[in-house]
Amino acid sequence: MPATIIDGKKIAREIEAELIGRISDLSKNGVVPCLAVVIVGDDPASHVYVGAKERACERLGIRSVRVDVASDAEYEEVASTVRGLNEDPGINGVLVQSPLPSGMDEISITDLIDPQKDVDGFHAQNLGRLVQGDVSGLLPCTPAGVMRMLESTNLDIRGKRAIVIGRSRIVGMPQSILLAQRGVDATVTIAHSRTSDMADLCRSADLIVAAVGRPNMITADWIKPGATVIDVGVNRVNDDSEKGYYLSGDVHPDVREVAGAVSPVPGGVGPMTIAMLMSNTVRATEMQQ
Ligand code: NAP
């Protein structure tokens, strides 16, 4: 039987519907959440992502402010932009769109964001809380979105084997912590580019979260029958369509023949990431009142 498709778009719409009530409660006190997005340079993919974030704000009645900074700006210009947004009481959430121009220290810029306005959840203080087992604050959007997708499948992952492929600061590492936290209780293996027995590890897993950035890397022969597979990867693969590319995940489409449940690309983790960003913006606004 082909795998169930985990519809990220649908779950994201449900999250947005929940948020509308909270946004309306804030508005009774004269508060409209406001998200500021700083974009440095003209990376086309970044502009697509920022556009999607702005449209989500518009749908929900969240104000959005976009600050464009030239690609040749110095570190200090970006830093002072962030400090200005921190000090502005009308701004509730601040994020700096990744990637920054090469040579600009992304971690140090992130750590300038007021942790209470850090809606990406990447500030050391917010990531530190996560390591301490406190998941009540601003969590990184993509891993938090994956957790919501898993909740929707009703998969009981307690004591089960999960493998997270990728160990980045923004996806793989916080994802592994969220899966291993008390109450979720998966037994987590973190794989990366130096992992030698990847196919065997995957074949032993009840849950695979792929966050690598390599199109179709995870193939059907790596999958334990019935396993759940979450595809975080978003890869542009060139073709001769009008756009010149199509989007592929890290998971090969054939995996659907073996897995129990699979998230699609597009329409899986992507919309969930945006919904969790909206959720963090509302949460940050509530915490600041
Ligand atoms: P990243 O920082 O480049 O990290 C990629 C990770 O994959 C690294 O840990 C790397 O290992 C590992 N890796 C690379 N090649 C590998 C291989 N052959 N076998 C096993 N592991 C390998 O990327 P990221 O920011 O985490 O993003 C990962 C993917 O998710 C990308 O496609 C990105 O576009 C996508 N993404 C999607 C969303 C969304 O909302 N849908 C959000 C964020 C990211 P090393 O650590 O050893 O280098």
How confident is the model over 169-181, as pLDDT tens digits? 999 999 999 999 9
Tell me which of 122, 147, 168 to substitute to probe ligand 1's pocket, judged by most ligand atoms within 8 Å of the beta carbon: 168
Instruction: Grade residue 1 by pLDDT with cuts at 50, 70 and 90.
Output: confident
Catalytic residue among 114, 120, 206, 250: 120
Gap between the Cα atoms of 73 and 4, Å rounded: 47
Asked if 262 and 255 touch (Cβ cutoff 8 Å), the reply is yes
Q: Is the CB of 46 under 6 A from ligand 1?
A: no
Query: Within this chain, do residues 164 and 241 fall inside the same structural domain, yes or no?
Result: yes
Number of domains into which the chain is organized: 2
Does residue 93 fall inside a structural domain?
Answer: yes
Q: CATH code at 198?
A: 3.40.50.720
Q: Which residue has the higher pLDDT, 222 or 154?
A: 222
Calculate what percentage of the chain has a pLDDT beyond 70.
100
pLDDT tens string 116-155: 999 999 999 999 999 999 999 999 999 999 999 999 998 8
Q: Tell whether 127 is covered by a domain.
A: no
- Distance, CA 212 to ligand 1 centroid (Å)? 3
Same domain, 102 and 156: no
pLDDT of residue 240: 96
Flag whether 57 is in a domain: yes
Q: Are residues 263 and 149 in the same domain?
A: yes
Residue 99: is the preceding peptide bond cis (ω within 30°)? yes
pLDDT in tens, 52-109: 999 999 999 999 999 999 999 999 999 999 999 999 999 999 999 999 999 999 999 9
What pLDDT, in 10s, does the model give residues 192-216? Answer: 999 999 999 999 999 999 999 999 9
pLDDT at residue 154, rounded to an integer: 86
**Same domain assignment for residues 106 and 152:** no
**CA–CA dist 125, 9 (Å, integer):** 30
For the residues 25-37, what does the mean pLDDT come to? 97
What CATH number should be reported for the domain holding residue 106?
3.40.50.10860
Same domain for 101 and 218, yes or no, is: no
Residue 108 lies in a domain: yes
209 CA to middle of ligand 1, Å? Answer: 11
Chain-wide mean pLDDT for the chain? 97
The verdict on 172 and 77 lying in the same domain is no
Same domain, yes or no, for 241 and 154? yes
Q: Is residue 2 assigned to a domain?
A: no
Beta bridge partners of 37: 66, 95
120 is catalytic: yes
Residue 275 lies in a domain: no
What's the whole-number mean pLDDT along residues 33-41?
97
pLDDT the model gives residue 231: 98
Residues 99 and 155 in one domain: no
Do 76 and 197 sit in the same domain of this protein? Answer: no
* Burial class of residue 208 (count of CB atoms within 10 Å of its CB; 0-12, 13-18, 19+): buried
Query: Token pair of 76, please?
Result: 């200090």
Q: Name the strand (E) or helix (H) holding 207.
A: strand 207-210
Query: Any idea of the CA torsion for 171, 264, 199, 192, to the nearest 10 degrees?
Result: -20
Residue 271 Cβ inside 6 Å of ligand 1? The answer reads no
Q: Which residues pair with 162 in a beta bridge?
A: 188, 207
Q: No. of H helices and E strands in the chain?
A: 9, 11
Domain that holds residue 103: 30-115
- Report the separation in Å between the CA atom of 235 and the middle of ligand 1, taken as the mean of its atom positions: 10
Q: What is the pTM of this model?
A: 0.97
Asked if residue 68 is part of any domain, the answer here is: yes
Is-catalytic flag, 53? Answer: yes
Is the model's pLDDT at 187 over the cut of 90? yes
